[in-house]
């Protein structure tokens, strides 16, 4: 049965169950992340996405769905284990206030670890993390009036909960995994294998022996493991009962990625050899416990998480104002895939949610010419340094080139004798005698031909040359310096949410963690911005004070704690404040005499 509490209807003044906290403790909670969560996030949780996976009439009532989704989110937000999450839900008053659970019943404040696991499994399998991230990001963008025109993009390498294995450990663990599953599912097939081979990989000390190999014994052990791998693949390749097992698919994958079959020239049986390490692809299996993880030569095994956030340049920010830098998109990509391929998917994702930027700051890896051209077609300017440097000291921008791509003069002032443009390719000829007498001949990109000297370039070459020239402009450096702020976001994701080292395995689970942790960072940031605005209520956006008792700039949620004593009775005073909150008008109260 579906159980969901109404969190949109406010409590009647004088009957708020949280009044027992007292004004000082209540103020602390209101000004913390818990107050923000309760006011703006709780009733925005997409529980409608969770409802279809429970029966509306049969069975016991579900856990309160707003609480259930909140627990899944807060676990990633604070980087907690399942046991720690259950404890926090049971005893943490900030969590109770955030989820509006004033009662002390176990049904409201206790969640079984198995129930938490099931909830997380539903969120992962049905990709509800995307709905959570998108919905709450849109809500915070609306509440804090986030300007999405300026954004910056970067990536962070994350590791799932798997051990780093060498080639010997990888082959041994893959064989062990297959034999364990074969013993459970097809014991009769295991009985037909060589007892020595089974003992080598299924004994208690088997994997330990492979992991503690001396350097002098590594190659013989590796050759033995490769031979055993080949024997198992050959033995079960045509066996339907074993070939349908996922562990055999991993076994076959490791064999194809790590080994090569050499045909014998004299008609003998083919031999199996290990491939050289440099021939093993970076998207090869790294650990059988996490088949989705790949390898980056720069950062190692794991995944890459692309993070796009808004930012505000200090010059465009009003003095004394507090603005929210919001993470607007998070995408998980394989570690073996470069950052250049992430630009267009990220822009497409923000376009669907109405948060498309006008300008994106990114490092060199994102700023390929193809990305800049494709982004420009979407109305987005990608500001990034050019990776390849000019080969000649004289650049194309030193030539006089029209908007249509025609060269009218070289840096020395000589005009070309002829020229033609074929599609994206440009070719212009110069007098060989003039070029030969030029003192800057060695620095010029014009190359000698049979009859003349020629300048050949493409539209891409011209665009890159213009971008290199723009990099030397102080305007570019002043604009690009704001990109470094994204490093603070990566640090915040790592320190506060534990993004760099996760407790899960698999691309889907990593995606859920990344999106929910980014949502948590957005909530914590929004809480800090909200507190800063309360501490500085007289900023440019705040109205001018009307009278000595006017709560200038303070949000009406905190009016009860900021007003001076008045003559009205307690219940009437609360009623006035409730009405003022409801209609959104300032409060005027006479001071007590």
Pairing of strands 381-383, 359-361: parallel
Pairing of strands 150-158, 359-361: parallel
In a domain, 55, yes or no: yes
What band does 247 get if pLDDT is binned at 50, 70 and 90?
very high
- The helix (H) or strand (E) run that includes residue 210 is helix 206-211
Query: Token digits for 414?
Result: 């000589």
pLDDT digits 0-9 by tens, 512-571: 999 999 999 999 999 999 988 887 765 544 343 333 333 333 444 434 334 444 444 455
In a domain, 295, yes or no: no
Between CA 286 and CA 281 the distance in angstroms is 11
Number of domains in the chain: 4
Between CA 508 and CA 161 the distance in angstroms is 13
In a domain, 567, yes or no: yes
β-sheet bridge partners, residue 259 = 274
- The helix (H) or strand (E) run that includes residue 302 is strand 300-310
- Helical spans, DSSP H, in 481-569: 486-497, 507-535, 559-562
Q: Which domain holds residue 401?
A: 396-462
In a domain, 96, yes or no: yes
Domain identity same for 119 and 193: no
The predicted pLDDT at position 552 comes to 38
Domain identity same for 28 and 114: yes
Q: Does the pLDDT of residue 211 top 80, yes or no?
A: no
pLDDT digits 0-9 by tens, 267-289: 666 788 888 888 899 999 999 99
In a domain, 333, yes or no: no
- The helix (H) or strand (E) run that includes residue 352 is helix 343-352
Domain identity same for 119 and 29: yes
How many of the other CB atoms lie within 10 Å of CB of 366?
27
Of 415, 439, 462, which one is at a domain's C-terminal end? 462
Domain identity same for 210 and 112: no
- Cβ–Cβ < 8 Å for 89, 95: yes
Domain identity same for 201 and 262: yes
Query: Token digits for 153?
Result: 């993009």
Domain identity same for 180 and 266: yes
In a domain, 42, yes or no: yes
The predicted pLDDT at position 548 comes to 36
DSSP state of 197: H
In a domain, 573, yes or no: yes
The burial of 52, by beta-carbon neighbours within 10 Å (0-12 exposed, 13-18 middle, 19 or more buried), is given as: exposed
pLDDT digits 0-9 by tens, 57-104: 888 888 889 999 999 999 999 999 999 999 999 999 999 999 999 888
Please state the rounded mean pLDDT for residues 444-452.
Answer: 87
β-sheet bridge partners, residue 448 = 453
What band does 266 get if pLDDT is binned at 50, 70 and 90?
low
- Cβ–Cβ < 8 Å for 42, 98: yes
Residue 574, φ and ψ in degrees, nearest 5: -65, -40
Domain identity same for 180 and 250: yes
Domain identity same for 40 and 113: yes
How many of the other CB atoms lie within 10 Å of CB of 326?
25
Between CA 408 and CA 392 the distance in angstroms is 20
Domain identity same for 29 and 105: yes
Query: Token digits for 589?
Result: 């109260």
Q: Does the pLDDT of residue 395 top 90, yes or no?
A: no
Sign of CA dihedral 223, 225, 231, 236: negative
pLDDT digits 0-9 by tens, 423-441: 889 999 999 889 888 988 8
Between CA 325 and CA 331 the distance in angstroms is 18
CA dihedral 18, 22, 27, 33 (to 10 degrees): -40
Domain identity same for 184 and 274: yes
Residue 402, φ and ψ in degrees, nearest 5: -75, 175
First to last CA, the chain: 57
Of 462, 486, 502, which one is at a domain's C-terminal end? 462
In a domain, 69, yes or no: yes
Domain identity same for 121 and 195: no
> Would you call 433 helix, strand, or coil by DSSP?
helix
| Site of tokens 């005073």 | 573
Nearest to 410 by CA among 388, 450, 441: 441
Of 418, 447, 462, which one is at a domain's C-terminal end? 462
pLDDT digits 0-9 by tens, 317-353: 655 567 899 999 999 999 999 899 999 999 999 998 8
């Amino acid at each position: 049965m579906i159980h969901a509490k109404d969190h949109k209807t406010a409590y009647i003044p004088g009957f708020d169950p949280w009044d027992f906290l007292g004004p000082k403790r209540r103020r602390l909670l209101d000004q913390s992340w818990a107050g923000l969560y309760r006011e703006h996030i709780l009733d925005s949780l997409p529980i409608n996405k969770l409802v279809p996976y429970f029966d509306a009439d049969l069975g016991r009532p579900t856990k309160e769905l707003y609480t259930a989704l909140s627990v899944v989110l807060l676990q990633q937000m604070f980087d907690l284990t399942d046991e720690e999450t259950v404890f926090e839900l049971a005893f943490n008053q900030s969590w109770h206030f955030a989820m509006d659970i004033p009662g002390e019943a176990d049904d409201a404040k206790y969640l079984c670890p198995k129930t938490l696991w099931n909830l997380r499994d539903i969120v992962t399998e049905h990709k509800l993390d995307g709905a959570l991230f998108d919905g709450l990001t849109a809500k915070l963008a609306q509440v804090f009036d986030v300007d999405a025109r300026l954004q910056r993009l970067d990536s962070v390498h994350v590791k799932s909960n798997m051990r780093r294995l060498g080639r010997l450990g990888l082959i041994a663990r893959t064989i062990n995994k297959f034999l364990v599953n074969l013993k459970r599912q097809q014991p009769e097939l295991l009985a037909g294998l060589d007892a020595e081979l089974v003992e080598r990989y299924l004994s208690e000390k088997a994997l330990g022996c492979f992991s503690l190999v001396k350097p002098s014994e590594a190659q013989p052990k590796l050759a033995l493991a490769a031979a055993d791998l080949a024997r198992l693949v050959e033995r079960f390749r045509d066996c339907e009962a074993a070939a349908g097992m996922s562990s055999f698919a991993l076994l076959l994958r490791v064999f194809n990625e790590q080994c090569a079959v050499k045909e014998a020239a004299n008609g003998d049986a083919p031999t199996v050899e290990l491939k050289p390490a440099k021939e093993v692809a970076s998207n090869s299996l790294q650990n059988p416990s996490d088949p989705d993880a790949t390898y980056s030569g720069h950062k190692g095994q794991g995944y890459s998480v692309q993070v796009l956030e808004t930012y505000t340049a200090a010059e465009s920010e009003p003095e004394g104002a507090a603005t929210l830098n919001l993470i607007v998109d998070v995408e998980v990509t394989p570690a073996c895939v470069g950052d250049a391929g992430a630009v267009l998917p990220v822009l497409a994702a923000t376009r669907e949610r109405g948060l498309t930027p006008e300008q994106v700051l990114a490092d060199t890896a994102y700023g390929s010419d193809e990305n800049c051209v494709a982004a420009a077609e979407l109305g987005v300017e990608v500001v990034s340094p050019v990776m390849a440097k000019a080969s000649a000291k004289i650049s194309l921008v030193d030539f006089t080139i029209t908007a249509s791509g025609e060269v009218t003069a070289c840096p020395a002032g000589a005009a070309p004798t002829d020229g033609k443009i074929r599609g994206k390719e440009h070719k212009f000829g110069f007098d060989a005698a003039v070029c030969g007498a030029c003192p800057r001949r060695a620095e010029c990109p014009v190359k000698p031909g049979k009859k003349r000297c020629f300048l050949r370039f493409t539209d891409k070459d011209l665009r890159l040359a213009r971008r290199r020239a723009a990099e030397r402009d102080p305007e570019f450096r002043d604009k690009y310096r704001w990109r470094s702020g994204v490093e603070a976001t990566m640090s915040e994701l790592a320190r506060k949410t534990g993004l760099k080292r996760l407790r899960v395995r698999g691309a889907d689970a990593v995606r859920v963690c990344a999106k929910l942790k980014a949502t948590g960072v957005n909530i914590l940031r929004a809480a800090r911005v909200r507190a800063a605005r309360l501490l500085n209520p007289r900023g440019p956006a705040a109205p001018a004070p009307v009278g000595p008792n006017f709560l200038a700039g303070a949000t009406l949620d905190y009016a009860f704690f900021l007003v001076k004593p008045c003559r009205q009775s307690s219940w009437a005073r609360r009623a006035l404040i409730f009405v003022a909150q409801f209609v959104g008008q300032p409060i005027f109260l006479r001071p007590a005499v």
